[in-house]
Amino acid sequence: MNAFTPPSKSQGSDIAVSFEFFPPKSEEMEDKLWESIAKLEPLNPHFVSVTYGAGGSTRDRTHRTVRRIVEETGLAPAAHLTCVEATRAEVDEVIREYWDAGVRHIVALRGDPPSGIGGAYLPHAGGYANAAELTAGIKAIGDFEVSVGCYPEVHPESASAEADLDWLKAKIDAGATRAITQFFFEPDTYLRYLDRVRAAGIDIPIVPGVMLQPNFKGLKRMAGLCGTSVPGWLNDLYDGIEDDVRTRELVTAHVAAELVCKLRDQGVDQFHFYTLNRAGLAQSACALLGVKPDPVPAAA
């Protein structure tokens, strides 16, 4: 891995960042989430998104979290929504509830099988079969902004890289206006994918999804399931620091910073951070991009 170099371009306000959170399971986790949101809000993110658990398991928690963001912050929330284990009528009801709550941005996803990532996906009878159908369903209900997922290393269920791009096109034809990538570690993985996407005539923003997970064991497991390559240098970096949380966090911040700075140098100006509800690592990566809180006005 190269030594860290800050971006050579002018830093600052031309970068748009967004943050992903997951809905908390306990009161303690809820406190941590709101602390993180309060710390990241001054960075003026473009939007903050809230995930939707497998099989709709977090439906109420996702909804509560998104509602609270609308009611208690100045942030623009994006609610994740999946097709899993629900009829169209049930999903449509969730979409209408979001509209009524003032939410105007949905991240539309097919979702993973309830048996877990890697299991066979069977659409619910009477449900939306995939993210393209869901996107069309959302747009039929309200004029939401719709973001979708995309896969620089190809979705594990995809027949080929070309088929994967056809799938992305179908989501755009249905109304999606932004795609957020699955996490990846090498800048070239994203840049090569972007070349393929643009060559296929797709012109919507393809926002790199940057993972901030200091638990390397968990990260490797997740990467294996998602089809994300884990480079040898990353294994080497975490080797021997398994029991040292603080050092793992510093390494994670460094790896994310290096990735975003290299992409920034190639003209990438939007980043989506998978925060895992921890503000610190996202703050570090943003500071290195020149994204910092607005200065507090001096007292008169």
Residues that bind ligand FAD (CB under 6 A): 51-52, 54, 80, 82, 107, 109-112, 130-131, 148-149, 155, 157-158, 163-164, 167, 171, 180, 182, 209
State whether the Cα torsion 223-224-226-227 is positive or negative. Answer: positive
Give 25-40 as a DSSP string: SSHHHHHHHHHHHHHH
Computed over its alpha carbons, how large is the radius of gyration of the chain? 19
Cβ proximity to ligand FAD: between 11 and 270 the closer is 270
The letter for the amino acid at 273 is F
**CB-CB contact of 260 with 285 (8 Å):** yes
- Min dist CB 264 to ligand FAD, Å, is 20
Residue 87 Cα to chain centre, angstroms: 25
d(CA 135, CA 110): 10
Residue count (the chain): 300
Closest CA to 157 of 111, 88, 198: 111
Cα–Cα dist 175/64, whole Å? 26
Catalytic residue among 20, 133, 153, 258: 20
Which residue lies nearer to ligand FAD by CB, 148 or 234? Answer: 148
Other Cβ atoms within 10 Å of 86 Cβ, number: 21
Nearest distance in Å: CB 290, ligand FAD = 24
Cβ 106 to ligand FAD, closest distance in Å?
A: 11
In the complex with ligand FAD, which residue's Cβ is closer, 174 or 279?
174
What is the C-alpha separation between 188 and 199, in angstroms, rounded?
Answer: 16
Question: Tokens for 98?
Answer: 């979001």
For the bound state, the minimum distance from the C-beta of residue 165 to ligand FAD, rounded and expressed in Å, comes to 8
CB of 20 to ligand FAD, least distance (A): 7
State the minimum distance, in angstroms, from the CB of residue 190 to ligand FAD: 13
Report d(CA 295, CA 251) in Å as an integer.
28
The answer to whether residue 20 is catalytic is yes
**Choice between 50 and 261, CB closer to ligand FAD:** 50
Is residue 226 within 8 A of residue 189, CB to CB? The reply is no
Active-site residue list: 20
